[in-house]
Structure 1
Amino acid sequence: MNLVDERVQRIVQAAGSAPSVYNTQPWQVEVAGSTVTLRADPARQLRHSDPHGREMLISCGAFLFNARTAARRDALNAVVKVLPDPDDELLVAEIQLEPGSTPDTDELELSVAIARRATSRVPFDDQPLFTDVLMAIEAAARKEGADLRSIQPSEPARDDVLVLMRRAEALASEDPAARAEEAAWTATDPGRADGIPQDLLGPSATNPRAPVRRFQASAGSAQFEQRSTMAVLSTPGDSARDWVRAGEALEHALLVATIYFVHASFATTVLENPTTRHDLRRALSLDGAPQMLMRLGYSSSPKHTPRRSASQMTAASDG
């Protein structure tokens, strides 16, 4: 369908490049003039692994940050109301696009990074991030009200985190519903506009201490690095608003990482299990609620997972 304005179409398309659990892209968009309404799509929610919609709202928060960033590239300001209706839990945000100033260099760099950012599930260089790069990524998360706590290779708690990752994955592998949910969204038909095709799942790790998630359908195997930087993103609280904030902080951090040619991959299983999520928080002595665990490092540029078009994501308002 035709959108009201080409700029809105560009913004929606850029926003849809956001990362999401299993590349489910769990969002719906309505456009009415210069107003964009973002809704969570329950049909794309992982009902078993994410029964409360935490990861769904984190994904929508990442979409929201991309929309804000892409708007600035077109010299627009995104005036956002997050969770504006307490009686409509699927209404994530209302975005009013208004004329703004010419974007500065930092805003342009972030907006360009949207198209470059991609999850990398291949081995990274066996080294931690440079200190100044890590500080810039951490600062980006703080700007959105979250904390990014690095877990360096020499840190004793890192072993505890890796044990928890493997425990959560083992428990999920014994759960038929969890296996079926993963299978529905991974090793997907290359013609699909969502999910993760098998060639982008990456190889399985031959070394047990590799800081990488294991997928059932991973193709082949490889020796993964052991000295890349790991990080956990946390928020002060654990409400729906905190989950949206976590998504915005995650995407801001990832776009800054992309500017520095740093890639990320995620370990979500450990946070989908309430017990291992609690144990992770305790192992790292976190003040806030852990929302995302990831590894950060340097690698070749990964391919992008498929995405729906703006018209597939968007419905026009009858108003």
Structure 2
Amino acid sequence: MTTAHTIDLAVRRLLVAAGEAPSALNTQPWRFRVRNENMIEMLADWDRWLRVSDPRGRSLHVSCGAALFNLRVAAQAARRRPAAELLPEPGEASGLLATVRFDAQAPSLADMRELYELIPHRRTNREPFSERLIPASVLSEMRTAASLERARLLFLDRRSAIDLLDYAAIAESELAGNPEYLAELAAWSTGQGVPAHVQGPQAIGDMDPVRDFGRRTGSARFEARPQLAVLTTAGDEPLDWLRAGQALQRVLLVAAKHAVSASFLNQPLDLRDMRRHSDPHHRRGHPQMIMRLGYGPMVPRAPRRPVADLLVEN
């Protein structure tokens, strides 16, 4: 039987890193089964599934993909070469999302060590950002990061960003009329979810580029021209969602390297999922995440689950 007391320090470091990943409403819907020092399985924690806003499980898979990327980075930083098999039991109801095997000692890549060290510094930032534009070189590096995980990162021009902000506001207004959605949001706006101290202030003016969790404190004027990006994948199935999560976390860590902050505006995607609609095929891919990027202040970390809560017994 594997418990938090029986896993060795090296494996514990991998799980701590995985647990630092971003997730929808900070649900952290992942668990891990440690088969031995050379194999870890990642499972969906369906007790933390957002049944109302995520009926397809898309956001759950994206969240778990981000945790999987952190696990891979931590392994490479520790000189272990990870080989991840996604959805090894397709069609099964086991909740097994990935199996990660670790080869013997391998060279520690400098870029992976750098990303590993950035994991605890990445935070979702719902504060106002400055008007400073992200340099083209940084945008290019973030775009490359997404492509390495078989996804695309599309940066919106000013007109497209305004249109998407309007769409997000319309979606949030419609969601606010759904009592089940509001109850789910309220349940994850305290404690282990998104407590008030990480929700950011209420926006002054008509444009609000941050999701409203209902418990935001204070008010502030946000940047006049939010810089938005959309992460897309070629398909829109569980395998694509896991890839999107890995791409998301690689992008966010590269952003953190350049002191670029991020928050999310996924209300249109939630509304789409709740209607059980899927996007028609588009040459630029299926949207999986909507991100607001920029330069913001230091912010506190959202609560994290202890390693003991992440383990599944063998």
Q: TM-score range by the shorter chain?
A: over 0.9
Counterpart selection for 1:51 from 55, 65, 68? 55
Amino acid at match of 1:176: P
SS of 2:50 mapped into structure 1:
coil
Taking only the aligned residue pairs, the percentage that are identical comes to: 38
Kindly tell me: are residues 109 and 244 of structure 1, through their superposed partners in 2, closer, same or farther at Cα, counting changes over 3 Å? same
- TM-score (ref. length: structure 1): 0.92
SS of 1:273 mapped into structure 2:
helix
- Equivalent residue pairs, number: 308
Q: CA RMSD in A?
A: 2.0
Of the structure 1 ranges 212-221 and 245-254, higher mean CA displacement relative to structure 2 is found in 212-221
Counterpart selection for 1:63 from 50, 62, 67? 67
- Who is 1:42 aligned against? 46
Amino acid at match of 1:213: R
- Who is 2:242 aligned against? 244
How far 1:177 sits from its partner (Å)?
Answer: 0.5
- Who is 1:14 aligned against? 17
- Who is 2:146 aligned against? 141
How many angstroms apart in 2 are the aligned matches of 1:276 and 1:313? Answer: 28
Counting only pairs closer than 5 Å after superposition, residues 277-296 of structure 1 correspond to structure 2 as 287-296=284-293
SS of 1:12 mapped into structure 2:
helix
Amino acid at match of 1:311: A
How far 1:166 sits from its partner (Å)?
Answer: 0.3
Counterpart selection for 2:106 from 92, 101, 120? 101
Stretches of structure 2 that go unaligned for 5 or more consecutive residues are none
Deviation per residue, 1:69-126 (Å, 9 max, x gap): 0001110111111000013252100111222323122111111011111110100111
Stretches of structure 1 that go unaligned for 5 or more consecutive residues are none
SS of 1:307 mapped into structure 2:
coil
- Who is 1:200 aligned against? 198
Amino acid at match of 1:16: G
After TM superposition, what 4+ stretches of structure 1 lie above 4 angstroms from structure 2?
Answer: 275-282
- Who is 1:161 aligned against? 164
Counterpart selection for 1:80 from 81, 84, 108? 84
Pair 1:119 & 2:121 matched = no
SS of 2:312 mapped into structure 1:
strand
Kindly tell me: are residues 120 and 32 of structure 1, through their superposed partners in 2, closer, same or farther at Cα, counting changes over 3 Å? same
SS of 1:156 mapped into structure 2:
helix
Counting only pairs closer than 5 Å after superposition, residues 170-319 of structure 1 correspond to structure 2 as 170-186=173-189, 188-189=190-191, 194-274=192-272, 287-317=284-314
Deviation per residue, 1:121-170 (Å, 9 max, x gap): 10011132111111111110010000000113xx3222211111001000
Say if 2:25 and 2:193, in contact at 8 Å, map to a contact too: yes
Say if 2:161 and 2:226, in contact at 8 Å, map to a contact too: no
Say if 2:153 and 2:232, in contact at 8 Å, map to a contact too: yes
Say if 2:126 and 2:263, in contact at 8 Å, map to a contact too: yes
Of the structure 1 ranges 119-128 and 13-22, higher mean CA displacement relative to structure 2 is found in 119-128
SS of 1:315 mapped into structure 2:
coil
Amino acid at match of 1:121: R
How many angstroms apart in 1 are the aligned matches of 2:297 and 2:251? Answer: 19
How many angstroms apart in 2 are the aligned matches of 1:294 and 1:24? Answer: 18
